[in-house]
């Protein structure tokens, strides 16, 4: 009760507290981004090993060993990716430790990717902004769940060109559950948004494949847009698609111009995530500004 009174009375204090929590969670999201694809890969090896064994085929010892390794989101402890030295807790303080260590491992002095503090900083800023926008309200909790899952999926898709079902479905069901009592949108709008979000990109995928014989995107993109529709309703889907296309053109196009590898595949998931996050906070204002500018409102 004391905390509720304090946070209700000072939105700035609440926003700072949530931002600090966001930095801490961002450290865990780094673990999810790095480890979840590896965990899924080991599970796939395990499934394949089991199937091959049932078919009476031999499985190499190295494959069995990979399946047997104990590797999860919590254990083993975080370690330097270069020398594998476990990272002590005081070297794992979000953002601060990276700055104090000057971006290097304290043991082998190898460079640590700047992405780690950037994810922590991004999560802190996004969480703090969410708290500032909604205040001490249940909508803030929804926005934090929405934001955290989008950051994790964006990082994985950027690295691996993969949007895991474990995350896309979690985001989808969480959106529908959150909107049962008209959270961000009424439940009917959320259900239609989920269906329309999936079918819209599914239709584009198959039209592109029929015309060109190539796959323009993955099935994970369909599921992610369905999840965004479940959170924000079908009314936001046109804006999300437009914003994601613009983000892809600006960011992805710029990267292709600067990159020596012109055939590099650019994942669409991060741009959908950016568009979805922007639409949650600014969607109605953007649509209203457009309608006023066009004389339709």
**Domain range summary for the chain, segments of one domain joined by +:** 1-128, 137-297
Taking alpha carbons only, the member of 262, 224, 261, 267 closest to residue 248 is 267
Tally of residues, the chain: 297
CA 80/CA 111 separation, integer angstroms: 10
Buried/exposed code over 64-83 (b: 16+ C-beta within 10 A; e: otherwise): eebbeeeeeeeeeebebeee
Other CB atoms within a 10 A radius of the CB of residue 259 amount to 11
pLDDT of residue 186: 96
pLDDT of residue 6: 53
Instruction: Give yes or no for a contact between 172 and 223, defined as CB atoms under 8 angstroms apart.
Output: yes
pLDDT of residue 68: 45
pLDDT of residue 47: 76
Answer positive or negative: Cα dihedral of 13, 16, 20, 25.
positive
Is the pTM higher than 0.85? The answer reads: yes
Instruction: Give yes or no for a contact between 27 and 151, defined as CB atoms under 8 angstroms apart.
Output: no
pLDDT of residue 74: 75
**pLDDT 10s digit of each residue in the chain, 297 long?**
444 555 566 789 999 999 999 999 999 999 999 999 999 988 888 777 777 776 666 655 554 445 445 667 777 778 777 788 888 888 788 999 999 888 888 878 889 899 999 999 999 999 999 999 999 999 999 999 999 999 999 999 999 999 999 999 999 999 999 999 999 999 999 999 999 999 999 998 888 888 888 877 788 999 999 999 999 999 999 999 999 999 988 887 777 777 666 566 778 999 999 999 999 999 988 988 877 887 766
pLDDT of residue 67: 46
Taking alpha carbons only, the member of 166, 138, 157, 142 closest to residue 280 is 142
């Amino acid at each position: 009760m004391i905390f509720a009174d304090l946070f209700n009375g000072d939105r700035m204090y609440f926003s700072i507290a949530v931002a600090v929590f966001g930095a801490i969670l961002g450290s865990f999201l780094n673990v999810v981004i790095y480890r979840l694809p590896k965990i899924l890969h080991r599970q796939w090896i395990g499934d394949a090993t089991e199937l091959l064994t049932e078919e009476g085929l031999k499985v190499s010892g190295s494959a069995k060993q990979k399946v047997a390794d104990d590797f999860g989101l919590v254990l083993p402890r975080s370690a330097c990716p270069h020398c594998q030295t476990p990272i002590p807790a005081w070297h794992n303080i979000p953002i601060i430790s990276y700055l104090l260590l000057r971006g290097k491992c304290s043991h082998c002095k190898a460079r640590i990717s700047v992405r780690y503090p950037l994810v922590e900083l991004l999560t802190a800023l996004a969480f703090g902004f969410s708290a500032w926008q909604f205040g001490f309200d249940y909508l803030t909790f929804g926005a934090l769940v929405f934001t955290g899952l989008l950051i994790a999926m964006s990082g994985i898709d950027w690295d691996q060109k993969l949007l895991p079902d474990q995350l896309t479905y979690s985001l989808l069901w969480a959106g529908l559950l959150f909107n049962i009592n008209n959270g961000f949108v009424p439940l009917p709008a959320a259900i239609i948004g989920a269906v329309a979000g999936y079918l819209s990109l599914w239709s584009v995928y198959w039209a592109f494949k029929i015309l060109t014989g190539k796959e323009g995107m993955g099935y994970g993109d369909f599921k992610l847009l369905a999840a965004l529709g479940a959170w924000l309703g079908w009314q936001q889907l046109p804006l999300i698609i437009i914003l994601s296309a613009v983000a892809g053109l600006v960011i992805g196009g710029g990267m292709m111009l600067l990159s020596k590898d012109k055939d590099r595949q650019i994942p669409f998931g991060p741009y959908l995530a950016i568009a979805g996050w922007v639409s949650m906070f600014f969607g109605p204002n953007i649509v209203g500004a457009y309608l006023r500018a066009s004389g339709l409102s």
